[in-house]
């Protein structure tokens, strides 16, 4: 993927602040955008909820 260097630097700083890799930050942001647009299938939502760190806590 080609990303403008200034955008990459901003993503890198943001990822470091949230203890993620740049790749993880990009994936997080894309998933959030897809969710907000309502384009994530119900099965994907259930699978993602099961992978959530708070899945056993009852949230």
Residue-by-residue pLDDT tens, the chain, 59 positions: 899 999 999 999 999 999 999 999 999 999 999 999 998 776 565 566 666 665 555 54
The neighbour count for residue 40, using CB atoms within 10 Å, is 16
What is the structure's pLDDT at 53?
A: 65
Are 36 and 44 within 8 A, CB to CB?
Answer: no
Q: Please state, in angstroms and rounded to a whole number, the distance separating the CA atoms of residues 39 and 30.
A: 11
Q: Please state, in angstroms and rounded to a whole number, the distance separating the CA atoms of residues 24 and 15.
A: 8
């Amino acid at each position: 993927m080609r990303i403008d260097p200034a955008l990459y630097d901003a993503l890198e700083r943001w990822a470091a602040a949230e203890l993620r890799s740049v790749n993880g930050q990009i994936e997080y942001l894309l998933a959030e955008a897809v969710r907000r647009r309502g384009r994530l299938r119900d099965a994907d939502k259930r699978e993602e909820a099961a992978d959530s760190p708070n899945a056993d806590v009852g949230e």
